[in-house]
Structure 1
């Protein structure tokens, strides 16, 4: 049975509403400091480990963009919430054997970091009769296991996405390096984003910034921020 708002624990809507208001205030303050319009920054709710009932509550509060990082969790959750008309973002490392599933529900794949994945996504999108918006995930550090294309490889990968059937180049995405001041990394991402836009003017998305560093990302031009903990709380929930 698809979870409805009434299935949520008492008070959960109020909790999420308060968290959402606080996050929106942070975004507005960061935009004011940067001389930007808050309307130019899209909030994407990262709902991993939280139940579909929370997605419904957030949708009822006006959020339309939802992100997940594991297909095993995202696919059934997207199916349960299919009636809400949300845009689902896939933000985790994506293996090619999961591409067919992801292409069936995701509107945006933010974690494209290699040519083989571009080819697989293009084939899957064509088979589904859909167009997937893809972002090039950029590695801003040398840590293995976090995903992302080397900065030098980003322009060619962007070209490949733009030329692929069934795919639309949306822009770039990155995660700030762990344990470092995020702003210098986001400044590097901004320069790469400008380079990509010079070749592909419609690729305007810069997805950067999470609960702890969204202000720095907005100061450096982020158009999308991916927020989980500040919206939903700690990651101790059990998906149901």
Structure 2
């Protein structure tokens, strides 16, 4: 390696609430020579990070600009309302937006649900972040509606949450610039889609080419052997025909049969 060459690496951006640990572990097992760099970025900045090539791919929240990015949807999150543990909402298993109509509901500036009309009564001001809004909920001055992963990320002992059945939901996707679909991006696609290490998709061309082809087994489980001399027929140990269609001659199938001699009249 010359001094100008840089060893390959893969940079993965991810937004708060997304946990890339499982996929990172599989990456490190399959590609130990390619370091995986994890970069947490605010949800609102994730697409700019990918546009600027500060990361090779990202685990982001939908929607994304599909004229520029490719995206593989991974899952859709349950939306929940975060409340103090003594709140009346905790008496039920789930709520609707109508149940929150008389409550003060915070709408932080980094909201990821894309409300047309936020639920409940507006707060005196919009918190800068979801984490700030969580602190205000703990102070007992309002509630917060967020994807469940964010409620877990900012969990506090004095807070709990319940699903909101009719609220917007947040989808998470693997996304990258469409014109930058590299071999390493394909490798990561294979990992998040659950492909095995022997799958040719999601692996680099060199790895796929190195995979040897195996003979296909027949119905009995044995490997198929190439047909021997279809035009010449099968031969015995000394190169003699083992059988033929003609009845005459000692090589025919009838030549070795024994029977009683016919009596002459």
Indicate whether the TM-score tops 0.5: no
Q: Mark the structure with the bigger radius of gyration.
A: 2
Q: TM-score range by the shorter chain?
A: under 0.3
User: Which TM-score applies when normalising by structure 1?
Assistant: 0.26
User: Which TM-score applies when normalising by structure 2?
Assistant: 0.25
